[in-house]
Amino acid sequence: MIKANSVTKVVNTSEGSLQILRPISFEVKSGESVAVIGASGSGKSTLLGLLAGLDQVSEGEIFLDNEALHNMDEEERAVLRGNKVGFIFQSFMLVQSLTALENVMLPAEIAGLDNPKALAIDILEQVGLKHRAHHFPNQLSGGEQQRVAIARAFITSPKILFADEPTGNLDAKNSEKIEALLFQMNREKGTTLVLVTHDNELAEHCDRQLTMNAGELVETTQSKSANKKEAV
Amino acid sequence: MSTSFSLAWRLFKHEARRGELTIILLAIVLSVAAVLSLSLFSERLQGALKSRSAAFIAADAQLRSDEPLDEEWLLKAQQEGLSTAKQVSTRSMVFNGDAMSLVDLRAVNNTYPLKGTVNITDEPFGEKRDTSELPQSGEAWVQSRLFQSLGLSIGDRIEIGDGNFTVTKVLVDIPDAGFSVFNTDPIALINLADLEKTAVTGPGSRARYVGFFAGDASDISNFNSWLLPKLNDDLHSWRTVEDDESAIGRSVASAERYFLLASLLAIVLAAVSIAVAAQRYAQRHFDPVAIMKTLGATSATIRKIYLYQILLITALGILIGLVIGFIGQQIVVSLVADKVDVSLDVWHWRPLVIAVATGATCALLFSLYPLLQLFSVPPLRVLRKDISTNLRSRGIQFAASGGAIFTLMWMYSQDLKISAILFVSGSTLVLGLLGATFGLIAVGRKLGSGKMGPWQLAWARIKRRAMDNSVQLISFSVTIMLLLVVLVMRNDMVSQWRSQLPEGTPNYFLINITPDIQPKLDRHFSDNGVKIEEFYPVIRGRFVSVNGEGVNTDVSKEDEPNREGRRGLGREANLTWSNTLQKENEVLEGEWHGDSDETFADGLFPVSVEEGVAERLNIQMGDRLTFNVGSEIVETKVTSLRKVNWQTMQPNFFFVIHPDAMAAFSPTYITSFYLPTERKAELTNLLKPFASITMFDVDARINQLREIVDQVSVAVEFILVLVLLAGSLVLIAQVQASMDERSQEIAILRTLGAKGRLIRKSVIFEFVIIGVVAGFMAAMANELSLYLLQTSVFQMQASLHPEYWVIAPAVGAVVVGILGAVGCWRLLKLNTSQMLRNMV
């Protein structure tokens, strides 16, 4: 589903060019869940940005559902994102001036799906927030906002879901709930999940962990749970 | 409905309801309301004042001719929808038995006057009243002075030329009587049908034929375009209210220019506030755009969503602005209605169109750059908040904003000069401010180091946000500058108008005072407690040659319309002589001859010539001018050119000769005095011993002038208040906008445990610093604008205003500081978690 070949990222700064990703190659299969872990500044979010087509690679190739992301311009990448990709962010990234319902409807409308409102209500019900549909983000708690974000991410039934520290802004109790919800929805929809996190426990829930250090992919490990799953 | 529109509509609906569009909406509302109310009010007032001053030419336009007017022209004017009237005027002798007097004869048709009224009274020198009647055939209405000089009573018969007339009314005034100290002949008004029988306009006479026209400005202008090619410059002159060179005409003209200026400034104010608001609007939408792009929205979708949204905001802003502007204007009209003796009810469409165009142009053009910024926000911002936009060139922003402001000003004023002056001084201010901001930041770098007190925090903030602060500083300065220009211009203009006619301006003139009577008259008046102004000796002389080249002295030959040779004065000159330069006279070239008693070696005496007549007759410095006085020849040499203030009510002279040249002649004197209206009854007694002296009364005319000046001043004051109000609102909007940007920083400081007092003080200090600098820069730019405006547009004496160099920074500091404090207080009322939540 995702294929990265010798992907690098170099940025120009006032002190010259800086390589923030050294050549990275890996593959993620359809339906697989992968956690990208590593210390702050290790290049996790940069990698996520490149894989999701939010940023352009400096060198190398990225294929998303067999489509060559590295050859696309911003417009083509936007269309691809709209059709195949969902996102969840640490800071929720809800549009403050739209209600929960309207935030969830947004990707469906952009993708031109039929009856986005019904889809949104349905999925809000699945995340247990139907009763808060008409509230604005600043009227919701952090956990509720992230549930809205999850509903938004799944409304277009994306093939791939990218999550950037989805529990980073939440307390332990809410983190657990969100984790559970995220993986439950992921399983139900059969989505491929790429998740960036500091949280080893969260990473453990994924099939595989890619460990980053100073812009390099240093280790790939299979989760115990995944092994268990495989064993089962 | 397309997805983009429904999204735009939803965003618009929620944001409007949640108050997130308040600032940009307020800016548009303000601009539309200010422009509509100002221009509608000023257009109504201008119309009213114009119709009022139209009374002074008895029409909206006049065609003056040295030969009879073509009847076809008047017919054409009537076809164009204009009303017309005719007058023939000439000087003629009037006889009552053996007594005779020269009169200013006016023969008018039955439609005269088209504007203004004819005033009559029941007895000579009595109380005047309006009349809509005119002399019937065989009747003559004559002024009081003629009753006095010819010993007339109502019902007496007089002869004018070959015609006999019955004096039926005492004429006080006709609207287009004109005013000149030397135009001393009393007016006799007769019916135009009777003119022929007088035979006073035969060959050799000097008559002026006047056609009067009144109607819509557009009809008059159409008729004028049709007429213009048919006119002969030597014979015809076209005058409208605008060409009126009298004190009233000039006051009204400069008031009009002031209104125009004020409206232009309102447009600039509006533009500034919209620019500030649009910038803020765009910044607040960086995140939603990044989110939508991440979720798959293409650039085209984003463009559509935000263009729709801006259009919706603009439409709503314009709508509310029109309503508020109209109500505001109506309030002003009702306040002024009893102070300005004119009707303000006429509706004008132009201000409405201008207001809508201003709102739309400002909103769209000033949003252009912020919107381009918005469109270029990369989706990566969802991961990295520090990325805002890929668009870096501020050049586009400055070019678009500058171009938009200039185009608007030019479009609106249709006056390249006023627009260019304001634009150049505004641009100079902007450049100066950019320099000043960076200089300030350099200074602040030193002051801002050390322990974190409120001053250090304030400086640190200014330093950190150099570009934002410079934009903010510029908008504050431009606002303060515009307010200063409007305020100072109004003060200078009104005081100049008032100084033309100060209390105690002579309201009576005495002429034909012979040298033997002069001392007696002086004594008699002072015994009666009336102060006589200066006595000017006057002698009539014929201006005959320049450097030996004869000038046309005959003016009355109708058969020589295109005379060749050097142009003459066209009548006898009133020559005076003096060693001292008259009040309100200014030597422009050469030197005033003073009391030096030297004559020139070649027997030429110094003469000072008024600049206008010098230009008209092509007289240069050093030219030899020859006058015939009686049978004597007076040879003079031009030693100075003078500027004369024709707007003062005092005798003014084209030629002032060195007294030595005139020693041999016996002059008559002319003087003036002031008598309060309540002492008018004493006039007869005052003048009784001096039967040969002619007096004429300009009291009514002075009062009329003063009244108009007062009314125009009141109007100007209201305009000032409107602009000040608009400017204050713009300042508030600016502070609010910048406060919003500060909320994040305040939230962090609060979280870190900074006391409210420290934050409040630091914000106030920051605004005080910005206020002082903005005030000072505004005062400087104000001087530049005023200098250019006063010298090139308002034809006034330019002056410096050092008091504002202190007042403007002080007021800037106080007002901006207070606004900052109020804005800050609002933020500090929120609790920290609320603020932090709002930041997300």
**What are the tens digits of pLDDT across the range B510-528?**
888 888 888 888 888 888 8
Q: State ipTM.
A: 0.91
The verdict on a CB contact (< 8 Å) between B301 and A96 is no
- DSSP bridge pairs for B513: B669
Q: Is A67 on the interface with B (CB under 8 A)?
A: no
Report the distance separating Cα B673 and Cα B653, nearest Å. 18
**Chain B residue with minimal CA distance to A75?**
B298
Q: How many Å lie between the alpha carbon of B300 and the closest alpha carbon of chain A?
A: 9
One-letter-per-residue 3-state SS of B562-580:
CCCCECCCCCCEEEEECCC
Q: B229 or B612: which carries more pLDDT confidence?
A: B229
Check pLDDT > 50 for residue B557. Answer: no
Q: Do B384 and A45 touch (CB under 8 A)?
A: yes
Q: Report if residue A6 sits inside a domain.
A: no
Residue B138, exposed/middle/buried by CB under 10 A (0-12, 13-18, 19+)?
middle
Task: Give the largest Cα separation in chain B, rounded.
Answer: 110
Which of A55, A112, A137 is opposite residue B380, by nearest beta carbon?
Answer: A55
| Structural domain that includes position A119 | 29-46+79-231
- A181-190 confidence digits (pLDDT tens): 888 888 888 8
**More reliable by pLDDT, B366 or B291:** B291
Residue A69 resides in a domain: no
Nearest CA in chain B to A115: B3
3-state secondary structure of B247: helix
Residue of A72, A110, A150 to mutate when probing chain B, most B C-beta within 10 A: A110
A162 contact B CB<8A: no
The number of residues making up chain A comes to 232
Number of domains in chain A: 1
Which pLDDT band holds residue B562 (cuts at 50, 70, 90)?
very low
Low-confidence ranges of chain A (pLDDT < 50): 227-232
Contact B383 A109 (CB under 8 A): no
Specify whether the CB–CB gap between A230 and A57 falls below 8 A: no
Do residues A149 and A168 make contact, with C-beta atoms less than 8 angstroms apart?
no
- CA A15 – CA A18 distance, rounded (Å): 8
Winning range, highest mean pLDDT, from B174-183, B558-567, B634-643, B719-728: B634-643
At residue B282, the pLDDT reads 84
Q: In angstroms, rounded to a whole number, what is the distance separating the alpha carbons of residues A155 and A107?
A: 7
From chain A, pick out residues whose CB is under 8 angstroms from the CB of B840.
91-92, 96, 137-138
| Packing angle of the helix pair B454-464, B466-500 (nearest 10 deg) | 100
Q: Which residue, among A48, A75, A91, A109, would best test binding to B if mutated, counting the most B CBs under 10 Å from its CB?
A: A109
- Most B CBs within 10 A among A76, A106, A141, hence the mutation to make, goes to A106
| Strand order through the sheet with A67-68 | A16-28, A2-13, A59-64, A67-68
pLDDT tops 80 at residue B181:
no
Asked if residue A120 belongs to a domain, the reply is yes
CATH of residue A222: 3.40.50.300
What does the angle CA B102 – CA B105 – CA B107 come to, to the nearest 5 degrees? 165
Which positions in chain B have a beta carbon within 8 angstroms of at least one beta carbon in chain A?
Answer: 3, 6-7, 10-11, 14-15, 18, 20, 287-288, 290-299, 301, 378-380, 382-384, 837-838, 840
Residues 6+ positions from B404 with CB-CB distance below 8 Å:
B271, B361, B362, B365, B366
User: Is pLDDT above 90 for B232?
Assistant: no
Query: A224 lies in a domain?
Result: yes
**Which residues in chain A are contacts of B10 at CB distance < 8 A?**
98, 102
Choose the weakest-confidence range: A181-195, B241-255, B541-555, B756-770.
Answer: B241-255
Nearest Cα residue in chain A from B290: A93
Asked whether residue A8 is domain-assigned, the answer is no
How confident is the model at residue B664, as a pLDDT? 79
User: Of B443-447, B458-462, B621-625, B791-795, which range is least confident?
Assistant: B443-447
For the cut 90, the answer to whether the pLDDT of residue B260 exceeds it is: no
Sheet holding A85-88, edge to edge: A85-88, A160-164, A192-197, A33-38, A208-213, A216-222
Asked if B383 and A45 come within 8 Å (Cβ–Cβ), the reply is: yes
Please list every residue in chain B whose beta carbon sits closer than 8 Å to the beta carbon of residue A195: none
In chain A, residues with a C-beta closer than 8 Å to the C-beta of B379 are 54, 74, 78, 81
Identify the weakest region by mean pLDDT among B466-480, B584-598, B766-780.
Answer: B466-480
Classify each residue of B574-606 as buried b or exposed e, where b means 16 or more C-beta atoms within 10 Å of its C-beta.
bbbbbeebbeebebeebebbeeeeeeeeeebbb
- Closest Cα to residue A90, out of A55, A44, A157, A136? A44
pLDDT in tens, B302-323: 999 999 988 999 999 999 999 9
Q: What is the CA radius of gyration of chain B?
A: 34
Upstream peptide bond of B667 is cis (omega within 30 degrees of 0): no
Do B291 and A109 lie within an 8 Å CB cutoff?
Answer: no
Residues of B with CB below 8 A from A194's CB? Answer: none
Which residue of chain A is at minimal alpha-carbon distance from B20?
A: A97
3-state secondary structure of B840: coil
Contact B550, B630 (CB under 8 A): no
Q: Are B8 and B314 in contact (CB under 8 A)?
A: no
Dump pLDDT digits (tens) for B578-631: 888 887 788 888 888 876 665 566 778 888 998 888 887 888 888 888 888 888
More confident residue, B701 or B764: B764
What's the pLDDT score for residue B243?
Answer: 66
B796-819 burial, b at 16+ Cβ within 10 Å, e below that, comes to: eeeeebeebbeebbebbbebbbeb
Q: Report d(CA A223, CA A200) in Å as an integer.
A: 11
Q: Which of B20, B22, B291, B387 to mutate to test the interface with A (most CBs of A within 10 A)?
A: B291
More confident residue, B721 or B641: B641
Output the pLDDT for position B192.
92
B38 Cβ contact partners less than 8 Å away, ≥ 6 residues apart? B259, B262, B263, B266, B329, B719, B722, B723, B726
Separation of CA B350 from chain center: 19
Interface contact flag, B382 A74, Cβ < 8 Å? no
Residue A62 lies in a domain: no
Q: What is the pLDDT of residue B250?
A: 67
Percent of chain B with pLDDT over 70: 82
Q: Is A98 left (phi over 0), alpha (psi -120 to 50) or beta?
A: beta
Residue A90 to chain B, least CA–CA distance (Å) = 9
Subunit contact B382:A93, Cβ cutoff 8 A = yes
Q: Is residue A7 part of a domain?
A: no
User: How many contacts (CB atoms, under 8 Å) link A and B?
Assistant: 96
Give alpha helix (H) positions in B55-200.
71-79, 144-150, 195-198
Given A49, A78, A97, which is nearest B293 (Cβ)? A78
Alpha carbons B264 and B785: distance in angstroms, whole number: 13
User: Which of B169, B167, B174 lies closest to B119, judged by CA?
Assistant: B174
Contact B295 A48 (CB under 8 A): no
Alpha carbon separation from B643 to B494, B571, B610, B623 (Å, rounded): 22, 21, 6, 18
B295–A164 CB contact, under 8 Å: no
Residues 6 or more apart from B728 whose CB is under 8 A from it? Answer: B815
Cα gap A53→A78, rounded to integer Å: 8
**The predicted structure's pLDDT at residue B556:** 42
Instruction: List CB contacts (< 8 A) between B290 and chain A.
Output: 93
pLDDT score recorded for residue B565 = 58
What is the nearest CA distance from A5 to chain B, expressed in angstroms?
21
- Rounded Cα–Cα distance for residues A65 and B410 (Å): 58
For residue B559, the model assigns a pLDDT of: 38
For residue B86, pLDDT over 90 is answered with: yes
* Chosen from A54, A148, A152, A156 to mutate, greatest number of chain B CBs within 10 A: A54
Shortest CA distance to B824 belongs to which of B727, B749, B735, B753? B735
pLDDT in tens, B349-404: 778 888 888 888 888 877 888 888 888 888 888 887 777 666 656 677 777 778 87
The answer to whether A35 touches A203, Cβ cutoff 8 Å, is: yes
Tell me whether residue A162 is in a domain: yes
Give Cα separations from B466 to B168, B444, B496, B537, B662 (angstroms). Answer: 82, 11, 43, 70, 73
Q: What is the pLDDT of residue B840?
A: 44
Q: What is the arithmetic mean of pLDDT over B432-442?
A: 71
Taking the Cβ of residue A73 and every Cβ of chain B, the question of whether any pair is shorter than 8 Å is answered with no
Residue type for position B299? S
- In this prediction, residue B451 carries a pLDDT of 60
Residue B767 has pLDDT above 90, yes or no: no
A79 touches chain B (CB under 8 A): yes
Which amino acid, B359?
A: G
Among B26-35, B269-278, B279-288, B455-464, whose mean pLDDT is lowest?
B455-464
Q: Between the ranges B189-198, B230-239, B378-387, where is the mean pLDDT highest?
A: B189-198
pLDDT at B211 over 90: yes
DSSP, collapsed to helix, strand or coil, labels residue B821 as helix
**Segment (H or E) for A86:** strand A85-88
Tokens of B445: 């770098």
Q: How confident is the model at residue B563 (pLDDT cuts 50, 70, 90)?
A: very low
β-pairing verdict for B655-657 and B605-610: antiparallel
Determine contact: A45 vs chain B, CB below 8 A.
yes
Q: Left (φ > 0), alpha (ψ -120 to 50) or beta: where does A72 sit?
A: beta
Work out the percent of chain B whose per-residue pLDDT is above 90: 10
DSSP letters for B309-365: HHHHHHHHHHHHHHHHHHHHHHHHHHHHTTTS-S------SHHHHHHHHHHHHHHHH
According to the model, what pLDDT value does residue B771 have? 86
> Which residue stretches of B163-206 are H helix?
195-198
| Confidence check: pLDDT of B833 > 80 | no
Place of tokens 């502070």: B735
Name the residue of chain A whose CA is nearest to B840's CA: A91
Gap between the Cα atoms of A8 and A59, Å rounded:
5
Q: Lowest-confidence range among B13-27, B94-108, B511-525, B764-778?
A: B13-27
Q: Which pLDDT score is estimated for A36? A: 92
- How far is B700 from B511, CA to CA, in rounded Å? 19
